[in-house]
Chain A
Amino acid sequence: MLNTAHLSLEQAPPISIPFRFFLTAPLFGAAAGVVLIWAGDAAMVSRWSPIVLALTHLITLGFLTMVMCGAMMQMLPVLAGSPVPGAGPVGTLSHLALSLGTGALVHAFIQGSAGWMKLAVLLLGVGFGIFAVAVGLALARVKLSSPTVTGMRWALVSLVITVVLGALVSVGLFGVVSLNNLAAYTDLHLGWGLLGWMGILLIGVSYQVVPMFQVTPEYPKLMQERLTPSLLFGLVGWFLFETGVIRGYWSPLVPGCWMLLVTAGYPWFAGTTLRIQRLRKRQVSDVTLRFWRVGLIGILSGYLVWLIGRVFPDAATAPRYPLLLGILLFLGGVFPLVNGMLYKIVPFLSWFHLQNRQLALGAFHVKLPHMKGFIADREAKLQFHLYLAALFLALAALFWPVFFTRPAGAFLVLTNLMLGYNLLRAVMRYRGTKALLNPLDSH
């Protein structure tokens, strides 16, 4: 049960804070498309190529983490009754540092510049440091916990570990410090980012937003109570086993077998979400549901490909195998889940803030737009189809890179520009209605 006694919109950060995170994300998504067009088939060679490293971070940091940080700052006061201290300056500084840091990191990868890498590590370290301290304080102050709050706590721990490992790998990569077995540390960084920060946060938040926005039954109690703590425990175990391999204590089979157990939690979550979506009372399909189905199938497919790689290790040594996993899990899995949820969160926040303002001012002569009035269904569906094209073209580019890499990049640009346009229109609609509610405010 959530803490309703302290629920108040006044505790939430100004709406401009989450909006700036949400509006920045599609710009980085489009930038990933531009890099793909510029690089062409060179982007499909190996996961270690600078282009792929730049692309991965444009999507994971610039798009996904950008949205997730903004949403977390907004959700904590509303869902957990615990505002982020100093939300205004914390939001402004962490958004700025995350944006500039991601830009610097991508530049460092493409140019092979140690100077830019140091700057990126500094900016991202400061940005995530401010974010983690402020959000960590808010999470520590939650009086009545819930499975969503637990998920947020473990996700934040995972984010800090991901950032520390990322900084370590970056400085190791550019020879600033000597790091034995860079590939294993990179895998740890990737695993904590994907399975911990993104995976645990998405699972924890889904417990609230899926039943609420998609009108489904609740997730099973066992899953809500046990899954995210088990995943964190599993990742800590993996970290210890993996460092044991790096130090030569035991065979890579040990962390490999351990991860077979740990990763089973993700298809369990994806399968359960698909099942409760099928049990909806009103079977009305909307664009968020479409994005979510693609994302959940993406996670299940990625898991299957990962399993095949464990059973047939020769298949996993192919240079494009990790690229296939990356496309399925990031572009086909987490990306559509976040994209789809933006189409619920942005209209809901806009409507809720306006409703609150209308009641405060008693301005009942102004008719507020419905939630669906903020983002037109037709434009959202068009963006979904552009996204689908980008995803399938990216998968095709793995097999025929010369023909499909640049078209995949072009559709990635288009879908992100369309997403940005749709979100911007929602924000403009919010501002227009807010000005009608209190004309003095608009001057």
Chain B
Amino acid sequence: MEHLLDVSTLEPCEPLELTLSATRELPTGDYLKVVHRREPHPLFPLLEKSGFSWLCRPGGEAGFEIFIWHRGDRTAEGDVVHRALC
């Protein structure tokens, strides 16, 4: 299941704070889709450190979409690949 978070109009560090906070409540099997106006470089090492996998692609109205799921969660990873990228 997809959880949508739009941070495209927020100032730093609100997008990072909200994204990290949303990942803490992300159930296994689901993924988080973050809509962002920029590629959030500082977010990626923080996600990796917290045990998440991520995929960032340009697209959408805001500019970038970031998909985040628990590392090793095959269901969520499959959903990201099939539903979000196909």
Contact = CB atoms under 8 A, between A and B. Distances in A.
A79 B14 CA distance: 19
A356 B16 CA distance: 12
Nearest to A359: B49
Interface string B1-32: 00000001111111011001000000000000
A170 to B, nearest CB: 41
Given A359-B49, A360-B49, A370-B17, A215 B44 contact: no
Contacts of A352: 13, 16, 42
Interface in A335-371: 344, 348, 351-352, 355-356, 359-360, 370-371
B10 A215 contact: yes
Interface string B53-76: 000100000000000000000000
B12 A359 contact: no
Contacts of B9: 215, 281-282
Given A9-B45, A356-B49, A351 B13 contact: yes
Given A211-B38, A355-B20, A359-B50, A7 B13 contact: no
B39 interface: yes
Contacts of B10: 215, 282
B46 interface: yes
B43 to A, nearest CB: 10
Interface residues on B, range: 20 to 34
Contacts, number: 59
A258 interface: no
Interface string A369-385: 01100000000000000
Contacts of B46: 355-356, 359
B12 to A, nearest CB: 6
A377 B45 CA distance: 30
Contacts of A356: 45-46, 49
Interface residues on A, range: 20 to 34
Given A359-B49, A370-B17, A1 B12 contact: no
A360 B12 CA distance: 21
Nearest to B56: A4
Contacts of A268: none
A78 B41 contact: yes
A355 B16 contact: yes
A242 B45 CA distance: 49
Contacts of B13: 348, 351-352, 355, 370-371
A233 interface: no
A212 interface: yes
A4 B12 contact: no
For the complex of A and B, the 8 pairs showing the least CB-CB separation, nearest first, are A359-B49, A281-B9, A371-B13, A7-B41, A351-B13, A282-B9, A8-B45, A359-B50
22 contacts: A2-B39, A4-B44, A4-B56, A7-B41, A78-B41, A78-B42, A79-B41, A211-B37, A281-B9, A282-B10, A344-B12, A351-B13, A352-B16, A355-B13, A356-B46, A359-B46, A359-B49, A360-B49, A370-B14, A370-B17, A371-B11, A371-B14
Given A9-B42, A79-B41, 9 more contacts: A4-B41, A214-B11, A215-B11, A351-B13, A355-B46, A356-B46, A359-B46, A359-B50, A371-B14
Interface of A: 1-2, 4, 7-9, 78-79, 211-215, 281-282, 284, 344, 348, 351-352, 355-356, 359-360, 370-371
